[in-house]
Amino acid sequence: MTAATSSKPRGRGRSAARARSAAAGWFLLLPALLLVVLFFLVPMVIFFRYGFGTTEDNGIGDSGFTLEHYKSFLTDGYYIDILLSTVKIAAIATVFSVLVSYPLAYAMWRTGSDWLRVTLGVVAFLPMLVSSVVRAYGWQVVLADHGPLAWFLDVAHISDNPPELLFQTSGVVIGMVHMFLPFVVYPVYTSLQQIEPEVLESSSDLGASWFTTFRRVTFRLSLPGLVAGAQICFTLVLGSLVIPSILGGGRVKFLPVTIYNDTSSVEWPIASVESTVLLVGALAAVLVFGAVSRRTKVK
Amino acid sequence: MASSSTFRAARVRRLILHVITALCVFFVLAPLVVVILNSFSSVSYNKFPPPGFSLKWYENIFQVPEFGNSAVYSLVLAALSTVLATVIGAMASYAFVRGRLFAKGLISGAILASLVVPKIVLGVGLFVFFAKIGGYGQLWSVVVSHAVISLPFVVTLVSAAMVGLDRSLEEASRDLGASPFTTFRQIVLPQIRVSITVGALFAFIVSFDQLESTIFLLKPGTETLPIALFNYTIKHQDPTVAALSSLMILFSVALVIVAAVLLKRGNAMEALRRTQESQK
């Protein structure tokens, strides 16, 4: 639009070339557009339609219109419990992901040795390449009775009565933090890297202690990366099924698990309502984190 | 005096940072190492440290036919969806960067939107859709689903690399009479080869690790490797899962080494950095 208004067409040759270029553009874009419309947007719309379908006549809910499913979701304490538990797990997992990722990214940034930086980088990203099922299984073994954690606590004489983490919210959170760590480390590291060394030098030249410099300069300047990482982590947690299934063992209330179960038992309308709620939650998170991110940008 | 105390403070800080970093590294690696240790256990129940050494769980992998079949299925699926996503993603990137299009923002938004949708929602939605139109359980429906999911990675990586290209080279090629296709193949492609490789690698990894989006799309009997592993883990507790997981960790490490070699050859870190900047 701007290109068309800013430069006036000069003669027929130019405008013909421009039309050809636009046609070529659409031709190149067409496969991607078809793929996304046919196999992403249309399926989503059809699926959300089920949330409003009546189940009286033939039972699967692709016709009629009712708000009954939404009403039962929003008024039933059972669903509200699941929703609150889901948000709680996502929030705690995000906070801990940031707490573990920040020192890792900070060390990658501050270390003088290239070898250590590459090693830390590989360590941070290696889990991303290992299937989520493998990692969930690994934590199941670590946290189990008679597992390595219990063994360590016993041998180190810390406790001979290990804490119960498996099939609890805490176990699910540990698995989530491990799962989504790389997605927080990378943006934090990128924003730390963009800090100019002169800024830090002038802060300490002006007599600021390390802590003051960190708090008022480094941390402030790395906030956009931190917020971006937290947003990615929060959204990814909302979509995960493997960790809560394997580490929650059916005892931890988590919306994706409920969606999985309801879809398996062909209760599509309520699965559709739950999915819509989850999607709205994810979009709300994007908006909130986006607003926070804009406020943290330093000019 | 003051300078020696600040010096000491810096050393203490460095020590604290090292300890925290070591703990983080330990946290990341612990479950993977435990999986590998457990795969050599001589007993089927969970006991740490394992009471004895055995390779029977590795042998047992071959007693479970689903594992072999699903590994082949996963590789075929990942290869097909990677080719699809990379080709149409590269085409779309070129259109975004060079073409004059209206509603560019809207279209790129639609392509990137699948990143934000929780994977389980996408999976159930696609399942309901394919069950309705009749493609449920077939390879092509899973291939297009995975292509939708990996397309955003290809498009962001490749278009970021294209933004930095010098346009006059392409114009010179066109002025000298080369067709748009020849220009793309001879001028554009060589300059963005690394980004396309990294994009394809991402697409492959993303496809290979899909579970939430895929678990409903497959009929029982045809499974991907993560789904076969997931079903086995839910049902059984023996270290066969650990043995297979160890092999998968080994495969990932091999993949990291291949990626590192590729990254070293091309300036891929630069491409990644540009991707980050283009997203701001």
What does each of the 299 residues of chain A score in pLDDT, given as a tens digit? 344 444 444 445 566 666 666 777 788 899 999 999 999 999 999 999 888 888 766 556 677 788 888 998 989 889 999 999 999 999 999 999 999 999 999 998 988 788 888 888 888 887 777 889 999 999 999 998 888 888 888 888 787 777 788 888 999 999 999 999 989 998 999 899 888 888 888 888 888 888 888 888 889 889 989 999 999 999 999 999 999 999 998 889 999 999 999 998 888 889 999 999 999 999 999 999 989 888 877 65
Task: Judge: A142–B30 Cβ closer than 8 Å, yes or no.
Answer: yes
Structure tokens at A252: 């931890």
Rounded to a whole number of angstroms, the distance from the CA of B253 to the nearest CA of chain A is 8
A155 and chain B in contact, CB less than 8 A: no
Decide if A89 is inside a domain: yes
Decide if B101 is inside a domain: yes
State the pLDDT confidence band at B280, using cuts at 50, 70 and 90.
very low
Domain range holding A177?
Answer: 73-296
Give contacts of B241 with chain A, Cβ < 8 Å.
137
Most B CBs within 10 Å: which of A2, A26, A28, as the mutation test of the B interface? A28
Give contacts of A139 with chain B, Cβ < 8 Å.
31
A200 and chain B in contact, CB less than 8 A: no
Decide if B139 is inside a domain: yes
Decide if A66 is inside a domain: no
Decide if B14 is inside a domain: no
Q: Which of B151-160, B176-185, B222-231 has the least mean pLDDT?
A: B176-185
Decide if A98 is inside a domain: yes
Quick check: B183 pLDDT over 60? Answer: yes
Same domain for A198 and A260?
yes
Decide if A61 is inside a domain: no
What pLDDT, on the 0 to 100 scale, is given for residue A152?
84
Task: Judge: A29–B205 Cβ closer than 8 Å, yes or no.
Answer: no
Domain range holding B105?
Answer: 65-278
Per the CB < 8 A criterion, the answer to whether B178 and B186 are in contact is yes
Q: Which of B74, B118, B63 is nearest to B232 (CA)?
A: B63
Largest CA distance in chain A: 87
Instruction: Say how far apart CA B229 and CA B244 lie, in whole Å.
Output: 8
Virtual torsion, Cα B224, B225, B230, B231, nearest 10 deg: 70
Task: Judge: A141–B46 Cβ closer than 8 Å, yes or no.
Answer: yes
| Residues pairing with B53 in the sheet | B41
Decide if B175 is inside a domain: yes
With b for 16 or more beta-carbon neighbours within 10 A and e for fewer, the A90-128 pattern comes to bebbbebbbebbbbbbbbbbebeeeeebeebbebbbbbb
Per the CB < 8 A criterion, the answer to whether B170 and B187 are in contact is yes
Give contacts of B87 with chain A, Cβ < 8 Å.
31
User: Searching chain A, which residue's CA lies closest to the CA of residue B254?
Assistant: A129
Rounded to a whole number of angstroms, the distance from the CA of A94 to the nearest CA of chain B is 16
Same domain for A133 and A226?
yes
Q: 257-286 in A: which are within 8 Å (CB) of B?
A: 259-260, 263, 268, 271-272, 275, 278-279, 282-283, 286
Count up the domains in chain B and report the number: 1
Task: Judge: B118–A235 Cβ closer than 8 Å, yes or no.
Answer: yes
Same domain for A27 and A78?
no
Decide if B194 is inside a domain: yes
**Helical pair B119-133 and A42-50, crossing angle rounded to 10 deg:** 90
As a whole-number percent, the residues of chain B with pLDDT over 90 amount to 37
Decide if A110 is inside a domain: yes
Cis peptide before B49 (omega within 30 of 0): yes
A44 and chain B in contact, CB less than 8 A: yes
Quick check: B1 pLDDT over 50? Answer: no
Decide if B252 is inside a domain: yes
Stretch B58-84: mean pLDDT, rounded? Answer: 93
What pLDDT, on the 0 to 100 scale, is given for residue A8?
43
Task: Judge: A240–B120 Cβ closer than 8 Å, yes or no.
Answer: yes
For chain B, the distance separating the N- and C-terminal CA atoms, rounded to the nearest angstrom, is 47
> At B82, which CATH number?
1.10.3720.10
Same domain for A36 and A150?
no
> At A253, which CATH number?
1.10.3720.10
State the pLDDT confidence band at B161, using cuts at 50, 70 and 90.
confident
State the pLDDT confidence band at B265, using cuts at 50, 70 and 90.
low
User: Searching chain B, which residue's CA lies closest to the CA of residue A134?
Assistant: B245
Task: Judge: A134–B96 Cβ closer than 8 Å, yes or no.
Answer: no
Same domain for A79 and A203?
yes
Rounded to a whole number of angstroms, the distance from the CA of A146 to the nearest CA of chain B is 5
Per the CB < 8 A criterion, the answer to whether B207 and B82 are in contact is yes
Stretch B37-48: mean pLDDT, rounded? Answer: 84
Task: Judge: B118–A263 Cβ closer than 8 Å, yes or no.
Answer: no
What pLDDT, on the 0 to 100 scale, is given for residue A156?
82
Decide if B34 is inside a domain: no
Instruction: Say how far apart CA A181 and CA A285 lie, in whole Å.
Output: 18
Task: Judge: B249–A130 Cβ closer than 8 Å, yes or no.
Answer: yes
Same domain for A192 and A116?
yes
Q: Which of B223, B236, B233, B217 is nearest to A133 (CA)?
A: B233
What's the 3-state SS for chain A? CHHHHHCCCCHHHHHHHHHHHHHHHHHHHHHHHHHHHHHHHHHHHHHHHHCCCECCCCCCCCECCCCHHHHHHHHCHHHHHHHHHHHHHHHHHHHHHHHHHHHHHHHHHHCCCHHHHHHHHHHHHHHHHCCHHHHHHHHHHHHCCCCHHHHHHHHCCCCCCCCCCCCCHHHHHHHHHHHHHHHHHHHHHHHHHCCCHHHHHHHHHCCCCHHHHHHHHHHHHHHHHHHHHHHHHHHHHHCCCHHHHHHHCCCCCCHHHHHHHHHHCCCHHHHHHHHHHHHHHHHHHHHHHHHHHHHHCCC
Instruction: Say how far apart CA A292 and CA A223 lie, in whole Å.
Output: 10
| Residues pairing with A54 in the sheet | A63
Decide if A246 is inside a domain: yes
Count Cβ atoms within 10 A of the Cβ of residue B102 and give its class: 0-12 exposed, 13-18 middle, 19 or more buried: exposed
Stretch B252-273: mean pLDDT, rounded? Answer: 68
Contacts 24+ apart (CB under 8 A), B250-256: B252/A126, B252/A129, B252/A130, B253/A126, B255/A129, B255/B205, B256/A122, B256/A125, B256/A126, B256/A129
Task: Judge: B38–A141 Cβ closer than 8 Å, yes or no.
Answer: yes
User: Searching chain A, which residue's CA lies closest to the CA of residue B106?
Assistant: A33
Same domain for A162 and A246?
yes
Q: Read off the pLDDT of residues B143-156 as tens digits, 9 standing for 90 and up.
A: 999 999 999 999 99
Decide if A67 is inside a domain: no
What pLDDT, on the 0 to 100 scale, is given for residue A2?
40
Task: Judge: B212–A239 Cβ closer than 8 Å, yes or no.
Answer: yes
Q: What ipTM did this prediction achieve?
A: 0.84
**pTM for this entry:** 0.85
Q: Which of A63, A255, A258 is nearest to B132 (CA)?
A: A63
Decide if A219 is inside a domain: yes
Decide if B82 is inside a domain: yes
State the pLDDT confidence band at B267, using cuts at 50, 70 and 90.
low
What pLDDT, on the 0 to 100 scale, is given for residue B270?
59
Same domain for A9 and A115?
no
Rounded to a whole number of angstroms, the distance from the CA of A4 to the nearest CA of chain B is 9
Phi-psi region at A209: left, alpha or beta (left = phi > 0; alpha = psi -120 to 50): beta
Count up the domains in chain A and report the number: 2
Same domain for A225 and A118?
yes
